[in-house]
Structures are given as C-alpha cells and as structure tokens.
Structure 1
Amino acid sequence: MSPSEVQQVEQHTGQKAEDLSEEQLDAAMDDLGIEGQEPTDQEIAMLEAEDQNTQPTQVNQPVSEAELISRLERLGALKAQGILTEEEFQAQKAKLLGL
C-alpha cells in the first residue's frame, strides 16, 4: 500500500495499519476499494533494511506473546497483499518463532 492508502486505512479504522489483524486490514481495504499490489524495489529494500536493523534486537530481547502475535499477523497481511511471497513469509515466520 502507498503511504496515502495506509493513511486512508488508519483514518477509516481509527487504528494504525500495523495494529490491525489481517482480517481487519482486508476489510478496510475492501471498504475503501484498495487493492493489494506488488511491492516496489524501494519497498522491498526498506523491508529488508528494517529486518536487518531489528534482527539483533529480536535476539537480545524476549518478545511478548502479544507482540509475537502482532508481528505474525502483520506478516500474514503482507503476504495476503502480495508484498511477501510464500517463501519470504515462511522465512520471516521461522525467524519470529526462533526456528
């Protein structure tokens, strides 16, 4: 989603997009007529950089169950939107679960 679409979803739901469950995000996108789209090279680079920046923190700090669920839901939403492939989703999920 573009930044303006994220803002639309947040205004529509009254919550941050990353705090929404996959179902809530899908419903909001449907309500607003927003379709999932392929990520740009810039978005992929940003996701990869964010992953590299947060990786040491994840290793050093235990993650609460609620935070883990939130992160898994966010991954699911990215996959549902077509931003992550099945392979990328499984790899990130394994990282989060420590597998």
Structure 2
Amino acid sequence: MQIEVTPEQDDVIRHAIASGRIARPEDAVAEAMAEWVERERQRIALVASLEEAEASVARGEGTVIETDEQLAAFFDDIESGYRAEPPAMRAVRG
C-alpha cells in the first residue's frame, strides 16, 4: 500500500526525522495508525455502550432524565452514594 501525505504532513515528518524523534517516514505512519486504531477502538466501545443504554431504556430499565431538576437530583444521589462509600473502597477503584 502506498500512502500519500499532504505537503504540510511531509514537512512535519521531515522535521521529526531531522530532530531525531523518528528515524523514517514509516515510523510516523506507524505511530499515526496506532493512535487512529486506539481512537477507533474507543469509538466502537462508546457506540456499543450507547446501544446497550438505549436497549436498557427500551426494556424499561435505567433512569430517564428530562429536566434540569431531575438531572441535579440524579447527580445528588450519585454524590451521596460516593460520600457514603468507605474511603478505602474509593482508593481501590482509583
């Protein structure tokens, strides 16, 4: 496969080589692809999570929030649960 880069991308690659950050243009492409693949994995996981959330709501599970007041109450409930949790458990979860 042959990949063409824009003149600006070519300048960036040449600068990275000149500065010693990478050795070859292929290294720049490999690094860019690794980052793109990771973003794609995250996007796929997010889409799956959203689809599961939608399915959960369709099954009547979950919490539907329609107003600012409901949203504030929802976060208050979360914060209350977090404060009630022992500090050691919070440390384990990170």
| TM bin (shorter chain) | under 0.3
TM norm structure 1? 0.25
Name which one, 1 or 2, has greater alpha-carbon Rg.
2
TM norm structure 2? 0.26
The structure whose RCO (Cα within 8 Å, separation 6+) is larger is 1
